[in-house]
Chains A and B, each alone.
Chain A
Amino acid sequence: MFISNRREFLKTSLTTSGSFIVALTLPLPHRGWKAFAKGESGFGHHYFEITPDNQFVFIMDKAEMGQGVYTGQLTLFGEEIKINPNLFQVKSAPVAEVYSTFNGHMITGGSTSTADRWMILREAGANLRELFKMAAAQKWSVNVDQVECKDGQVFAQSGTQKLTFGELIEDASKIKNPPKGKLTDPKDFIYIGKPQVGLDAMEKSKGSDRFGIDVQIDNMASAVVERGPSFGAHVKSFNASEVKALDGVIDVFKVSSGVAIVCEKYWQAMRARKSLIVEWGPGSLQDLDSEGIFTSYKNAMEKTKAHEVEREGEPESAFAGADQVIEAEYRLPYLAHSPMEPMNATAWVQKDRCDIWCPTQGPSLVRNKAAMMLGLPREKVFVHNSVFLGGGFGRRSTLDYVVDALEISKKIKRPVKVLWSREDDTKHSPLRPITFHKMKASIKNGRVTGWQHDLGCESIMQYVIPQWFGLMAPDWVPDFLLGSLGKMVSFFMSLSGKAPTVAEGATHIPYTVENRLVKHYQLGIKVPIHFWRSVGHSYNAFVVESFIDEIAHKLGQDPMEYRLKNMTHNDRLRATLEIAKEKSNWGKPSQGRFQGVASHSSFKSFASEVVEVEVHAGQIQVKKVTAVIDCGTPVNPDIIKKQMESGIIYGLSAALQGEIKLSAGGVDQSNFDDYPPLRMSQTPEIEVHIVASTEKPTGVGEPGLPPIAPAVANAVFAATGQRLYDLPLRLT
Chain B
Amino acid sequence: MISFFVNGKKVEVDVPEDTPLLWVIREELGLLGTKFGCGKALCGSCTMHLNGEAIRTCVMPIAAVAGQRITTIEGIQEDGLHPVQKAWAEQGVPQCGYCQSGQIMQAISFIENSDRITESDVIKSMDGNLCRCGTYNKMKTAILNAAKSMGKA
Q: Hey, which bits of chain A sit against chain B, CB under 8 A?
A: 65-68, 196-198, 200-211, 213-214, 216, 222, 247, 265-267, 270-271, 338-342, 388-393, 419, 421-423, 638, 642, 645-646, 648-650, 671-673, 676-681, 683, 685-686
> B14 to nearest A CB, angstroms?
11
**B67 CB contacts on chain A under 8 angstroms:** none
| Bound-complex Cα distance A175 to B120 (A) | 63
B139 near A390 (CB under 8 angstroms)? no
Give the docked Cα–Cα distance between A270 and B24 (Å).
13
Q: List residues of chain B with CB under 8 Å of any chain A CB.
A: 15-16, 19-20, 23-24, 26-28, 30, 32-40, 42-43, 45, 73-74, 81, 85-86, 88-101, 104, 122-124, 126-140
Residue from B74, B90, B96, B130 in contact with A390 in the complex, judged by beta carbons closer than 8 Å = B96
> Which residues of chain B are near A204, meaning CB under 8 Å?
94, 97, 100
Whether B134 lies near A267 (C-beta < 8 A) is no
Report the nearest B residue to A678, measured CB to CB: B134
Q: Which residues on A sit within 8 Å (CB–CB) of B122?
A: 680
> In the assembled complex, which residues on chain B have CB atoms less than 8 Å from the CB atom of A422?
37-40, 42-43
> Which residue of chain B has its CB nearest to the CB of A638?
B92
CB-defined contacts of A201 to chain B, threshold 8 Å: 88-89, 92-94
Q: Once the chains are docked, how many angstroms separate the CA of A339 from the CA of B45?
A: 12
Min CB–CB distance B62 → chain A (angstroms): 10
A336 to chain B, nearest CB (A): 11
Known contacts A206-B85, A391-B96, A673-B40; 6 additional CB pairs below 8 A are: A205-B81, A213-B35, A266-B26, A422-B43, A680-B123, A683-B134
Residue of B nearest to A648 (CB): B134
**Shortest distance from the beta carbon of A2 to any chain B beta carbon, whole Å:** 15
How far, in Å, is A275 (CB) from chain B's closest CB?
Answer: 13
In this complex, which of A393, A680, A681, A686 has the most chain B Cβ atoms within 10 angstroms of its Cβ? A680
Q: Is the CB of A206 within 8 A of B35?
A: no
B27: nearest residue on chain A (CB-CB)?
Answer: A265
* Contact assessment for B92 and A267 in the assembled complex, using a CB-CB cutoff below 8 Å: no
User: Which 9 A-B residue pairings sit nearest by Cβ, starting from the closest?
Assistant: A197-B92, A649-B134, A390-B98, A66-B96, A66-B95, A207-B73, A204-B97, A207-B33, A204-B94
Question: Which chain A residues border B100 with CB–CB below 8 Å?
Answer: 204-205, 207
20 contacts between A and B (CB under 8 A): A68-B95, A197-B90, A198-B92, A207-B100, A267-B19, A267-B27, A338-B132, A390-B35, A391-B96, A393-B132, A645-B134, A645-B135, A648-B134, A672-B43, A677-B131, A678-B134, A678-B136, A679-B128, A681-B123, A685-B137
> A65, A201, A208, A393 — which one has the most chain B CB atoms within 10 A of its CB?
A201
Assembled-state Cα–Cα distance A419/B99 (Å): 17
- Chain A residues lying within 8 Å of B91, measured Cβ to Cβ, are 197
Which residues of chain B have C-beta atoms less than 8 A from A65's C-beta? 96
Least CB distance from B117 to A in Å reads: 14
Cα distance A209–B37 in the bound complex, in angstroms: 16
- B23 neighbours in A (Cβ, 8 Å): 265-267, 270
In the complex, the answer to whether B136 meets A649 with C-beta atoms within 8 Å is yes
Q: A391 touches which one: B26, B27, B36, B133 (CB < 8 A)? A: B133
User: B97 to A671, Cβ gap below 8 A?
Assistant: no
Closest to A198 in B: B92
Instruction: Across the interface, name the chain A residue whose C-beta is closest to B86.
Output: A205
A207 near B104 with CB under 8 A, answer yes
Shortest A491–chain B CB gap in Å is 36
Interface of B is mostly: loop
Given known pairs A66-B133, A340-B96, A390-B98, the reply for A210 and B32 (CB within 8 Å) is: yes
Q: Considering the chains assembled together, what is the distance between the CA atoms of A571 and B92 in angstroms? A: 33
Contact assessment for A211 and B98 in the assembled complex, using a CB-CB cutoff below 8 Å: yes
Alpha-carbon separation in the docked complex, A213 to B100 (Å): 15
For the complex formed, measure the closest distance between the CB of A41 and the CB atoms of chain B, giving whole angstroms: 37
Q: Give Cα A392 to B34, complex, Å.
A: 19
Chain B residues in 8 Å Cβ range of A342:
36-37
Given contacts A201-B88, A638-B92, A683-B136, contact A207 B38 (CB under 8 A): no
Instruction: Look across to chain A and name the residue whose beta carbon is closest to the beta carbon of B101.
Output: A207
Complex: chain B residue closest to A684, CB-CB: B137
Tell which of A205, A391, A672, A680 touches B140, judged by Cβ atoms closer than 8 Å: A680
A393 to B133, alpha carbons, bound, how many Å? 9
B59 CB, min distance to chain A CBs, angstroms: 12
A389 and B96 contacting across the interface, CB-CB below 8 Å: yes
Residue of A nearest to B23 (CB): A267
Q: Do the beta carbons of A673 and B137 come within 8 Å of each other?
A: no
Instruction: Check A340–B92 contact: CB distance below 8 A.
Output: no
B34: chain A residues at CB < 8 Å are 207
Chain A residues contacting B132 (CB-CB under 8 Å) are 338-340, 391, 393, 650, 677
Say yes or no: B42 contacts A646, CB within 8 Å: no
For the complex, what is the distance from the CA of A423 to the CA of B134, rounded to whole Å?
Answer: 21
Q: Would you give the shortest CB distance from B79 to chain A, in whole angstroms?
A: 12
Instruction: Give every chain B residue within 8 A of A646 (Cβ-Cβ).
Output: 95, 133-135
B104 and A213: CB pair below 8 A? no
Q: How far is the CA of A342 from the CA of B98 in the complex (A)?
A: 10
- Cα A200 to Cα B124 in complex, Å, equals 28
Chain A residues with CB under 8 Å of B129's CB are 680
CA distance A67 to B134 in the complex (A): 12
Query: Which of B35, B96, B99 is most buried by chain A, counting CB atoms within 10 A of its CB?
Result: B96
Give A564 Cβ to nearest chain B Cβ, in Å: 29
Residues of B within 8 A of A207 (CB): 33-34, 73-74, 100-101, 104
Chain A residues lying within 8 Å of B32, measured Cβ to Cβ, are 210, 214, 216
**What residues of B have a CB within 8 angstroms of the CB of A339 in the complex?**
96, 98, 132
Give the CA-CA distance A649 to B95 in the complex, in Å.
13
CA distance A685 to B123 in the complex (A): 13
Q: From residue B119, how far is it (CB to closest CB) to chain A in Å?
A: 10
Inter-subunit contact A388/B96 (CB<8 Å): yes
A200-B94, A650-B132 as given contacts; A205 in contact with B89, CB under 8 Å:
yes
A390 to B128, CA, bound (A): 19
- B101: chain A residues at CB < 8 Å are 207
Name A679's closest neighbour in chain B (CB-CB).
B127
C-alpha gap A390/B19 in the complex (Å) = 25
Which residue of chain B has its CB nearest to the CB of A64?
B96
Inter-chain contacts of B16 with A (CB < 8 A): 247, 271
- CB neighbours (8 Å) of B39 from chain A are 270, 421-423, 671
Query: Are B42 and A672 neighbours in the complex by a CB distance under 8 Å?
Result: yes
* Cβ distance A483 to chain B, nearest Cβ, rounded Å: 34
| Distance from A86 Cβ to chain B, minimum over Cβ atoms (Å) | 12
Contacts of A678 in B (CB 8 A): 134, 136
B81: shortest Cβ distance to chain A, in Å?
7
A342 to B92, CA, bound (A): 24
Decide if B130 touches A679 in the complex (CB within 8 Å). yes
A residues in contact with B139, CB < 8 Å? 680
| CB-defined contacts of B126 to chain A, threshold 8 Å | 680
Chain A residues with CB under 8 Å of B19's CB are 267, 271
Separation in Å of the A1 CB from the closest CB of chain B?
A: 12
